[in-house]
Structure 1
Amino acid sequence: MKKLLFIVLAAVVGGLAALGGAHFLGLNQQVKYVQVSAPPASNFANFADPSTAPPVPTTGFATAAEKALPAVVHIKASKPGGQSGLPFGIEPDQLPESFRDLFGNPGQRQRGEAPLQQGSGSGVIISDDGYIATNNHVVDGAESLEVVLNDQRTYEAEIIGTDPTTDIALIKIKAENLPTVQFADSDKLRIGEWVVAVGNPFSLTSTVTAGIVSAKGRSIDIVRRTGGDLAIESFIQTDAVVNPGNSGGALVDINGDLVGINTAISSPTGVFAGYSFAVPSAIVRKVVQDLREFGIVQRGLLGARITELNTRYAEEIGLKRDNGVYVAEVTAGSAAEEAGLQKGDVILAVDGVPTLRNSELLEQLGRRRPGDAVVLTFERDGQERNATARLKNADGKTEAIRPKPAPEKVTELGADFVELEASTAKELELAGGVIVAKIRSGILADQTRIRPGFIITRVDGRKVGSITDFERVISRAAGTVALEGVYPDDPKRTVAYGIVKQAEQ
């Protein structure tokens, strides 16, 4: 009995000792949620006060998606299998700096007349009567376009106009009272802001991703392959996930308003690897307005050869300034010459908007039409000056350019023809040619598989370098007529088509 009492007493004493020790060491305190004041920012720069840090707008993503989704469409473009595996006329193994476009399922190159293959892209409804903005490389060379709305209604679409210099195109479906997306001012978009990408990657329709704007005014030298010297690259760079099939889709702000058209990604594999690029809405709006009103884009040209300054180049030419756009040459009779610009000037701004990079200057000028006046801020001999330049068109005039109508004597071919621009001809190493811009009903549609974009360089072995040449030769031809030329995506391979043409009565 005494032994049992001793054991109980020892247990009690041991317990009291343990409790006292725990109290002394602070191990028996109650757990509480306490608010801890943030330390001074000067001490911990890598921590921000939660009360001032902007929250991740999770509800805003849902709002943006709800507004944008109904206005983003799925575009199915049927293209001949003989086209290049990638748009812009690029072979996968020729891409510099691992850039890839976003046009899905382009197929492999085949020789000869191949069956049609279907590519998948996206588009954005910009007016309730059926006008849709997308990328030029989504619709370029397509023989037919099918547009599937978010509610699964399906329509055939026609191409209203394309602009390779910005990679923007305008198409239209016959429908009314459609949901639309509103344009936002991409100039006000700030680096670090949240954006939402909406499109159809890998044909997964109505897909939404989010990210932030990681850069603006970015040039990746991809549109220049089709746009030539007039190409404008001033992309919005984001880390929103986009993939093949997103091309032509919407990049919207947190309010669901359009800030850009998704166009390209930077990737070593062809799928998303961190960055995507979108054409700013300010450029998109201007291009689609031109295409709708004129059928072609109105470009206001300064008429100067420019080079982007950096420290090394500035040292080579003896300039103390190491940023800005250097005027390397001024074209005679151009807007630049009439404004008083000279070789050696450094352009700093257009209408007060800083343009310290080529992409920024080209973007600002690309928003203007021939005849528009702009105030150029530039530096000469260390002094800042201003000059007003009235921009001109490619013909050196200030009027808007209208598409050249097809000559009457070739209308039986059932196509619209335009002359190949000198800059594009030089890039493709051609002496000249006539582009099949649009095919309707007629000889070409009935007798050949010619698709829009084909450049006719010879008719029955005779060179045709202009519309005038083409009209003269084709009007005299009869019987079996050979049309030879190239497609821009494969300018080294000559393609021949044969047509049967009746003699003129």
Structure 2
Amino acid sequence: MTQAPKSRATRTLLALTLAAAFGGFAATALRDVVEAPAAAMPALPPATVGALPTAVAGEPLPTLAPMLARVTPAVVSVHTKQRVRVSPFGNDPMFRRMFPELTQDRINESLGSGVIVDAANGYILTNHHVIEGADEVSVTLADGRTLPVNFVGSDADTDIALMQVKASGLDAVPLATADTLRVGDFVVAVGNPFGIGQTVTSGIVSAVGRSGLRGLGFQNFIQTDASINPGNSGGALVNLNGELVGINTASFNPRGSMAGNIGLSFAIPTGIARNIMDQLIANDGVVIRGTLGIETQDVTPDLAAGLGLKDPRGAVVTRVFRDSAAAAAGLRVGDVVLAADGQRIDGQDALRNFEGLQSVGHRVVLDISRDGKPLQVTAALREQPRSLAGADLDARLQGAVFAELPERLRQAGANGVMVESVERDSRAAGNGLRSGDVVVAANSGQFDDLPGFRASFTRPPAQLVLRIVRGGRPYNAMMR
């Protein structure tokens, strides 16, 4: 019992001694680390920074740079100037004459894009709306040269225009040999958006054969999500081989084009652009379209039941013009056109759009329904007259020239013909006709377009009355 306290004291002393020894060791070790020279510290591994590898599986990373180095020199910026006369009295002719000193000239300038498609001849494709109404047009090449252009011709209904420059050292984009784009193919748009300079955007093909967009003429668009903004119009849409597959023409934004792109962009396929270009060159700047020579209307559910159709779709023939392609092919009133060259036809607008993209002489295969039975006929399209002299229709229209409505008006729901020009002091002028008038009806007979207007004068009426729309207001005009 007398040794227990001594034993406890001994253990306590031993513990303190060991703690002191360990503490001294730890302090000495810490001092040695702090006081040791830097060279004595082991080297830390270098920091790792995230970066793309230069190669994957031994192959270099894909890049569009080599392809674009070939394409971008052929894409140009298009500059236009238009002189307009402005007056505080608007378009009122009386006040303009009374106060001519208040009328001033103003220069409107705009920018767009274009694509050199023939370096030897200096041919440049762009959009019709880029150069429409311009008094002066010039292009700036990728190398900085600015050149005046010679206007070859344009076609408002497909929005294609052709210009020509005289210069050496031009580069051209090769045209794709066929319209073989598929949904999902990668495409690249090159142009001059908002005038900031040449810009490249990329995306995929969202749809092909797109139509039914109001106010855009004849349509067979490529839809892409590559950004196409104001100023891109007329620029190039190319595939990954650097071949031109389309001419950029429009973007869709419910807030207006200046609000920017939201992934709904449209381009005119190269096949259409090439066809229009060839016609403009061959026909002195004019496009000559082929036509079947028929009038049609949409198939309603009631008509479908009466015509023996399962579905209310197609374009039912309501008139076949004499000496037309349709007459030669044996089409009849009551036939329903369901497809043309394998392309589905849902109504009269679809058939008109198909015709508008065809050239004279093209042999179109029509799938029709006659008396409820399927039938296939082939028609060689004939030339569609571009205009008609009023004197050839009726002496009371002498001095007026009538033309087809621009397709953008038809897409907006208009029908009829347009007064293209009126000679001063002519009989038509005396009867009140003016250039730009739209004739929507006449007591000579029913018509929807220029061939129908001509056919309505087979038996001219004793009194001729035209229903005219001018400035959005309709009125009746007596032709004397």
Which band: TM-score by shorter chain?
0.5 to 0.7
**Counterpart residue number, 1:394:** 384
> Does 2:419 align with 1:432?
yes
Q: Are 1:459 and 2:424 an aligned pair?
A: yes
1:103-155 deviation digits (Å, cap 9, x = unpaired): xxxxxxxx955311110011111111211111111111100101111111111
The answer to whether the 8 A contact 1:302-1:391 is kept is yes
Amino acid at match of 1:340: G
Counterpart secondary structure, 1:288: helix
Question: Which residue identity lines up with residue 293 of structure 2 in the other structure?
Answer: G
Q: Which residue of 2 aligns with 1:272?
A: 261
C-alpha separation between the residues in 2 aligned to 1:60 and 1:386?
49
**Aligned to 1:288, which of 259, 263, 277?**
277
CA–CA distance in 2 between the matches of 1:431 and 1:368? Answer: 22
Alignment CA distance shift 1:131-1:254 (3 Å): same
Alpha-carbon spacing, 1:420–1:79, altered in 2? closer, same or farther (3 Å): farther
Which amino acid in structure 2 is aligned with residue 67 of structure 1?
A: R
Aligned to 2:419, what secondary structure does the other structure show? coil
What is the identity, as a one-letter code, of the residue corresponding to 2:175? F
Which of 218, 237, 242 is the equivalent residue of 1:251? 237
Highest Rg: 1 or 2?
Answer: 2
TM-score (norm 1): 0.60
Whether the 8 Å CA contact 2:402–2:418 is kept in 1: the answer is no
Q: Does 1:78 align with 2:94?
A: no
- Residue 302 of structure 1 pairs with residue 292 of structure 2: yes
Which of 97, 107, 110 aligns to 1:116? It is 107
Equivalent AA in structure 2 for residue 243 of structure 1:
N
Q: Is the 8 A contact 1:223 1:232 kept in 2?
A: no
Shift in Å at residue 385 of structure 1? 2.5
Residue aligning to 1:331: 320
In the alignment, structure 1 residue 61 sits paired with structure 2 residue 64: yes
User: What residue identity is the alignment partner of 2:233?
Assistant: S
**1:260 deviation in Å?**
0.9
CA-to-aligned-CA distance 1:38-97 (integer Å, 9 cap, x gap):
xxxxxxxxxxxxxxxxxxx983533442232111110001013469xxxxxxxxxxxxxx
Distance 1:307-1:259 versus aligned 2 partners, 3 A rule? farther
Q: In the TM superposition, what are the counterparts of 1:137-148 in structure 2 within 5 Å?
A: 137-148=129-140
Q: What is the TM-score of this pair, normalised by structure 2?
A: 0.63
1:419-457 deviation digits (Å, cap 9, x = unpaired): 4414359969987342xxxxxxxxxxxxxxxxxxxxxx4
* 326, 334, 339: which one aligns with 1:348: 339
Matched-pair contact (CA < 8 Å) for 1:330–1:341: no
Q: Residue 140 and residue 242 in structure 1: after superposition, are their counterparts in 2 closer, same or farther (change >3 A)?
A: same
Distance, in Å, in 2 between the alignment partners of 1:82 and 1:263 is 28
Equivalent residue in structure 1 for 2:405, among 423, 434, 440: 423
Alignment of 1:146-165 (within 5 A): 146-165=138-157
Note the alpha carbon deviations across 1:370-394, whole angstroms, 9 max, x for none. 2332222334455433211011112
Q: What 5-or-longer segments of structure 1 have no aligned partner? A: 9-56, 84-110, 225-230, 396-400, 405-416, 435-456, 471-483, 494-505
Shift of 1:187: 2.7
| CA positional deviation for 1:357 | 5.1
What is the alpha-carbon distance in structure 2 between the residues aligned to residue 214 and residue 323 of structure 1?
Answer: 28
Gaps of 5+ in 2: 1-13, 23-59, 87-101, 390-398, 439-468, 473-480
CA distance in 2, matches of 1:138, 1:158: 15
Tell me the C-alpha RMSD between the 2 structures.
3.9
Q: How far apart are 1:176 and its partner, in Å?
A: 3.8
* Contact 2:251–2:261, Cα closer than 8 Å, also in 1: yes
Name the counterpart of 2:197. 205
How far has the Cα of 1:320 moved from its partner? 4.2
